[in-house]
Amino acid sequence: MGSDLMPTAMGALGAAPVLTKSRPTTREVFGSKSATTDEQDALERAFFLRVVLPNGTFKTTSTDRIDDLNRAVLAHIATIPERPVKIMDVGVSSGVSTLEWYESLSIENIDCKITATDLTVYASLLSLTPNLAVLIDRNRNILHLDVFGRGAPPTGRGLQGLLAGAVRGLFRVAMTADRNLPPLNGHTQEAATGWLLNCEPVALLTKKLVQHEGLRVVEDDLLAMNRPEFIEAFHVLRAANILNRAYFSDAVLTQIIKTLKKRLTQNGLLIICRTTEEGVNHATVFRLATASEFRVLLRLGQGSEIEDLVTAT
């Protein structure tokens, strides 16, 4: 099967690369064991590649992905007169890009508060034995498998698919037996122990993301009704690599745009970006004008592929 180790970044000149597991388990990524920054980054990248959300997408992320976009919008954010600038970043995955954005604004002495959202932030690690566990979301969807010291996606092809199916089936039975546990009824942030299962809360966020006064993370369904506290609450709203035609129909995209529009203050900025497989960013920054219409403020690359839907909303 080959080695389960992969090299991370080189250290000092001539030093051997640090080896990190290519298929880490949940505990290896989020446990208390200390790791260097490079090691932790590599573990997280490898782990999130195998976390499959209910809509079939992966919770992937990478560092420095939208630095050029951060630089492009900086001057416009700096002109917002209110302080702190209230920002919402939607669909943040593990939060790596959100943290980078917050740090870049802080370096420029822009006082801001960022609310980062994602559909699935909090999960529960269900263990049957020390070597057999799965991650579930609040709706009992299985997102990731930990099987005998190796992390794996919950689905697959061929033999891998058969093994994943067997593990899922085993845990479905166990979840039925322990169905009254709080984590199996939406309370994934609670620890619990049942007849068969031990449940531990896990935040599917980079460990570098520290919850503090200037940065918070909440679960948010963009297809649900707006929370009252979100209405006209934000000066800037960013949707990076989520509002794509590959993910949603035009009708659903229009619905989401209307939801986000209600969250912006007058003259607020809406930033929509898509990163290609080659790492090129195409983005459009819109301003919510006085007539409650979105107008294009600037474009990066070829601009957003849904620019027409935004300006028509």
Mean pLDDT, the chain, integer = 91
pLDDT in tens, 116-131: 999 999 999 999 999 9
Per-residue pLDDT, averaged over 210-225, amounts to 88
Instruction: Give per-residue pLDDT as tens, 136-164.
Output: 999 999 999 999 999 999 999 999 999 99
User: Burial level of 98, CB count in 10 A (0-12/13-18/19+)?
Assistant: buried
pLDDT at 25: 96
Could you give the residue range(s) of every CATH 3.40.50.150 domain in the chain?
67-120+206-312
Give the residue-averaged pLDDT of 179-188: 97
Render pLDDT for 41-99 as a digit per residue (tens, 0 to 9).
899 999 999 999 888 787 776 788 999 999 999 999 999 999 999 999 999 999 999 99
| Contacts for 151 with CB less than 8 Å, ≥ 6 apart | 23, 24, 25, 26, 28, 46, 47, 50, 144, 145
DSSP string, 70-84: HHHHHHHHHT--SSS
Full-prediction pTM beyond 0.85? yes
The pair of structure tokens assigned to 171 is 């845990």
pLDDT digits (tens, 9 = 90+) for 263-297: 999 999 999 999 998 999 999 999 999 878 999 99
The CATH number fitting domain 67-120+206-312, selected from 2.40.10.10, 3.40.50.150, 3.20.20.70, 3.40.50.2300: 3.40.50.150
